[in-house]
Structure 1
């Protein structure tokens, strides 16, 4: 057996340690607007001093950080402020589950739970990176999809309303089946045509560019059957610094009876009938 270096021994004697437990990822599906509980249970609740809930795509900011027996908002991502809490701040039986309120599609992602436990040792603390004790992928379904039917040639308004007490930085209307997918991209107080699908150039506008009361509805002019599809309205809010899906609308454009083929066909039939009459009179 190889001798263990004294420096390594001193490192192993620590005041605080993270708990290393492998975490099989779970998947939770929720509807927009629901409150969701992401379950996490530590092996020992007696010496928990820190609870961290994080999401990798948020970089250094936490979903929730609990230490000194209270929530710490300083390094919390803005989109989760006043929307998260521990299910039990007493952490009985090691319960450090997260409650996430009023979820939206912007909450989609993988959430990881970590804890920091106190160890009564004499030597200095070593900073050890921990594996999560729980890893949960949350998938939030978009709001109930609405349906709108319009006749070819009409102007159509697709209704979308964002929270009226939040500052809107960007409005996106998109159709996932198109490339590029943007029907309308509104930012810096004007429509950005750079990534707009060509079929919508000069045919779309916001109903109110001032976005009063959160109104970000889309006006789509002179619709045709090729405009049939699912339109998604998303906004980027200054407060949360994240995109939030507001509504999905399925637009179906129909051709009125007789508009295509009907009147033209009638003219052709009359012309043919007249020709036949002319031929008959010649005989």
Structure 2
């Protein structure tokens, strides 16, 4: 075995895929494209089996491969071809998304352009529950060349939509309208095509305050300040019963009206008509 040298190379480019030399494998000699992907079957080498396993197959791996065996007396070779590699590549966003409450955001998801949308079985957007996968929330669904907004969870119904004109280009990004605080989290775009599937994730993070939230804060502070101010006026400035009565009325109504407005704005900012009516 020490006298054998076995090389696996790409026939078209002479790229070294893997090497056996001086009685052992030489992974350090591999081309960068094949490091940690091309392996001999270690237990089979003693039986002079130098078959090669190629992990995580890529479309660019298509082509011819030559196995050349050298010994002191002679050499020989055999050739293997990899062809018709099917692939499904899905990409999302590398960075987390920041937004203010009430803004519209785009969750990116692109499918490799060589696969036509009509050949995709399903594209689903879900919000991930890390503690319980069964509780993942369906944001939007594309199936059998159609969009099914009615299947979305009620929290995302009428707020999430595909860019319809971009779907033929493999762009399955979703626009999420009027972002709420509870929208913060991890979203997954899961693509199915035949027996292949792939996914990409997008993180919606750092939701900032909107103008409505700032107004609510001002109203709450004003309500507290007005209550303290009116208490001071009652004891320090007024002596007549009428003026005391009027000040007491202001003390009762002014802070409560301000707080009521603050809570109504809170309901509106969170996109809930029900909350606004209750407030």
Q: Normalising by the residue count of structure 2, what TM-score does the alignment of the two structures yield?
A: 0.51
Q: Counterpart of 1:248?
A: 201
Does 2:94 align with 1:145? yes
Q: Counterpart of 1:159?
A: 108
Q: Counterpart of 1:90?
A: 67
* Cα separation, 2, equivalents of 1:255 and 1:204: 21
Instruction: Extract unaligned runs of 5+ from structure 2.
Output: 1-32, 71-76, 240-279
- Give the Å deviation of 1:211: 0.5
* Cα separation, 2, equivalents of 1:144 and 1:159: 6
Does 2:167 align with 1:218? no
- Give the Å deviation of 1:167: 1.2
Mark the CA change 1:233 to 1:176 in structure 2 (over 3 Å): closer, same or farther.
same
Please give the secondary structure, in 1, of the residue aligned with 2:67: coil
Q: Counterpart of 1:171?
A: 123
Please give the secondary structure, in 2, of the residue aligned with 1:200: coil
Root-mean-square deviation (CA, aligned residues, Å) is 4.5
The answer to whether the Cα contact below 8 Å between 1:38 and 1:98 also exists between their aligned partners in 2 is no
Q: Counterpart of 2:147?
A: 190
* Greater share of residues in strand: 1
Q: Counterpart of 2:183?
A: 227
Mark the CA change 1:180 to 1:80 in structure 2 (over 3 Å): closer, same or farther.
same
The answer to whether the Cα contact below 8 Å between 2:89 and 2:111 also exists between their aligned partners in 1 is no
The answer to whether the Cα contact below 8 Å between 1:86 and 1:96 also exists between their aligned partners in 2 is no
Does 2:189 align with 1:236? no
Aligned length: 185
- Give the Å deviation of 1:192: 5.4
Please give the secondary structure, in 2, of the residue aligned with 1:165: coil
Does 2:39 align with 1:39? yes
The answer to whether the Cα contact below 8 Å between 1:40 and 1:95 also exists between their aligned partners in 2 is no
The answer to whether the Cα contact below 8 Å between 1:208 and 1:217 also exists between their aligned partners in 2 is no
The answer to whether the Cα contact below 8 Å between 1:153 and 1:223 also exists between their aligned partners in 2 is yes
Deviations 1:114-148 (A, max 9, x none): xxxxxxxxxxxxxxxxxxxxxxxxxxxx8773211
Deviates more, 1:185-194 or 1:95-104: 95-104
For residues 18-33 of structure 1, the aligned pairs below 5 Å read none
Mark the CA change 1:180 to 1:267 in structure 2 (over 3 Å): closer, same or farther.
same
* Cα separation, 1, equivalents of 2:222 and 2:116: 57
* Cα separation, 2, equivalents of 1:99 and 1:86: 5
Structure 1 moving runs of 4+ over 6 Å: 93-106
- Give the Å deviation of 1:199: 2.0
- Give the Å deviation of 1:221: 1.2
Mark the CA change 1:150 to 1:82 in structure 2 (over 3 Å): closer, same or farther.
closer
* Cα separation, 2, equivalents of 1:166 and 1:199: 31
